[in-house]
């Protein structure tokens, strides 16, 4: 989030100065691609103080703006998030942004049509997922697969941390019915979801087959992440829609993109079972697996 905020501030300063990205790149003697990465909050950018000062001077930043951006960019050199140790092994670089956004989010709404969300998976269920082609994409070594699974387990701490995020999950009934691994694994997994749903900040609802056609049928799985607001209630970080693919991910943060997915969510939520009936369905199916 810090890098994304830095990027937006630099972009706003550049545009306010009436300077195109091409002109800025030429006058700063930097590649246009580098400026693009800065303004998009790329993790790979390293902010040297001299480079930051040069940009601030070119864009005509005020003393207050300069002081703030110098402090923010300095923080990127000092801070290392816990998940950075997983980059290049258990954590593909394209997923790094999502983990950072997830850790910073105030609320996440997650729709899953095929699999249990990572934040609710048991280790045994996760091991089955990562054993499938595409489940361990960009992970070559067996030890790295185990590191990726461990990362998934550690991410779940955001549900029980001090001031935890609000997680709302809609699961297609197929998530419950599709057996992943053994019946014992599925029974354990469904019971874990039921237990997680007892947390005051977690809601899980089931979209039953009987709901018929719904808006999510055309989209597949997605997450909507919303972030804490500033002291005056202003939006500090725009809502982000996250969609994962077999080889990467899509991040959508334009208002109409977030709005469209919110409308899809509302349509599905209106067709779900309530929390009590959802829990009953999960308990019934968990018992079926337990007796298999």
CA dihedral 219, 222, 228, 233 (to 10 degrees): 0
* pLDDT tens sequence across 267-286: 999 999 999 999 999 999 99
Assigned token pair, 289:
């697996």
pLDDT at 175: 98
Is the pLDDT at 68 greater than 90? The verdict is no
Is the pLDDT at 188 greater than 90? The verdict is yes
Judged by DSSP in three states, 180 sits in coil
Q: If you search the block for the tokens 């105030």, which residue do you land on?
A: 106
pLDDT confidence tier of residue 40, bands split at 50, 70 and 90: confident
Q: Average pLDDT over the chain, rounded to whole?
A: 89
pLDDT at 137: 54
Give CA–CA dist 153/123, Å, rounded: 7
- CA 85 to chain centroid: 18
> What are the chain's domains?
2-78 (1.10.260.40), 85-290 (3.30.870)
Is the pLDDT at 222 greater than 90? The verdict is yes
Percent of residues, the chain, with pLDDT higher than 70 = 91
Better pLDDT: 1 or 138? 1
């Amino acid at each position: 989030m810090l890098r994304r905020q830095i990027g937006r501030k630099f972009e706003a300063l550049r545009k306010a100065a009436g300077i195109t990205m091409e002109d800025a790149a030429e006058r700063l003697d930097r590649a246009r691609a580098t400026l693009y990465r800065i303004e998009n909050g790329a993790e790979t950018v390293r902010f040297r103080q001299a480079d930051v000062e040069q940009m601030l001077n070119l864009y005509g930043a005020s003393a207050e703006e300069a002081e703030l951006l110098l402090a923010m960019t300095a923080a990127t050199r000092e801070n290392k998030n816990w998940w950075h140790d997983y980059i290049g092994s258990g954590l593909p670089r394209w997923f790094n942004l999502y983990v950072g956004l997830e850790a910073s989010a105030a609320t996440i709404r997650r729709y899953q049509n095929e699999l249990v969300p990572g934040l609710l998976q048991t280790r045994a269920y996760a091991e089955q997922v990562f054993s499938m082609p595409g489940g361990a994409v960009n992970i070559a070594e067996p030890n790295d697969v185990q590191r990726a699974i461990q990362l998934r387990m550690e991410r779940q701490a955001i549900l029980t941390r001090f001031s935890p995020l609000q997680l709302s999950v809609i699961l297609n009934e197929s998530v419950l019915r599709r057996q992943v691994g053994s019946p014992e694994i599925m029974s354990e997994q469904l019971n874990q979801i039921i237990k997680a749903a007892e947390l005051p900040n977690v809601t899980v609802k089931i979209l039953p087959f009987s709901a018929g056609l719904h808006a999510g049928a055309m989209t597949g799985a997605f997450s909507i992440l919303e972030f804490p607001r500033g002291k005056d209630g202003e939006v500090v970080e725009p809502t982000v829609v996250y969609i994962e693919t077999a080889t990467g991910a899509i991040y959508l943060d334009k208002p109409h993109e977030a709005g469209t997915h919110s409308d899809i969510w509302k349509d599905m939520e209106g067709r779900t079972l309530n929390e009590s009936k959802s829990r009953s369905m999960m308990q019934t199916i968990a018992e079926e697996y337990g007796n298999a």
